[in-house]
Amino acid sequence: MNYDLVVCGVGGQGVLTIAAVIDRAIHEAGLYLKQSEVHGMAQRGGAVSAFVRISDQPVASDLIAEGTASMVLSVEPMEALRYTNLLRPDGCIVSDITPMENVAVYPKHDALYQVLFSAPRVVAINGTRLALKAGSIKVQNVVVLGAAASFLPLPPELLEAQLALLFAPKGERIVKANLNAFRIGDAASRFSAALSAAGVAPQVIARVVSQIAFEPQPVPVSSVAAWSQRLLCEDAPTLAQSLFDADKAIAPDAVPA
């Protein structure tokens, strides 16, 4: 088994915290890993990334070759696109849609989302909104980790355990916020996968899922079925665009008529 992961974002977004939690879980699972890091500015604005290579055999190199990554996990949408050349054909992108406009020539948002949502396998979430729902804006990165969990070759419970251990010194409230964030992200990812399995178009899924205010538990089967049926209608692309443009939190069971 070999699994190559790119974790990326900008300084201050907790990219290396994500990598640290995954690294600890890999060790606990008895797997091998190698990791390399690129640090931007310590303050917000500089690009930060980590290459995490996971295997059941010793790993020789910490670099990921073009076209071989299983996932790009990003806390910032433009940074996600920066690494798409590393993805394998069946690889996936898991990304927050919240822009961090750290350069003067940051692309127009509409154009950015058009490219990101056109990826064949993408889980797009509003990490900022979901982090606030979890209990703290500071857990935005953990929402994204939760959204990636079902794709990783690791039990989600192992990742949760490492989160709890990492944040235990900061107190019960911080641990709870991080676990809520992880579970909310996981619920978003599994909901996205269910819509995909039902045949809903990827660009429709990305626009809709990024606007849903998930709870820290799976979306009920009845709500998944209702959303799937609605998003298979002929007007689904128009509906998805209107929901995305409105940029308002939607309850998981609030299926539009």
Residue 255 lies in a domain: no
Residue 16 lies in a domain: yes
Contact call for residues 202 and 117 (beta carbons, < 8 A): yes
**What are φ and ψ of residue 209, in 5° steps?**
-60, -35
Question: Would you give per-residue pLDDT tens digits along the chain (257 residues)?
Answer: 899 999 999 888 889 999 999 999 999 999 999 988 776 655 556 888 999 999 989 988 888 999 999 999 999 999 999 999 999 999 999 999 999 887 788 999 999 999 999 998 999 999 999 999 998 999 999 999 999 999 999 999 999 999 999 999 999 999 999 999 999 999 999 999 999 999 999 999 999 999 999 999 999 999 999 999 999 999 999 999 999 999 999 999 999 98
Rounded Cα distance between 173 and 178, Å, is 9
Residue 115 lies in a domain: yes
Longest dimension (CA), the chain: 54
The β-bridge partners of 7 are 50, 73
Residue 254 lies in a domain: no
Residue 257 lies in a domain: no
Domain that holds residue 139: 2-246
Residue 241 lies in a domain: yes
- DSSP annotation of 43 reads S
Instruction: Report the domain count for the chain.
Output: 1
Residue 118 lies in a domain: yes
Residue 136 lies in a domain: yes
**CATH code, domain with 23:** 3.40.920.10
Rounded Cα distance between 199 and 69, Å, is 25
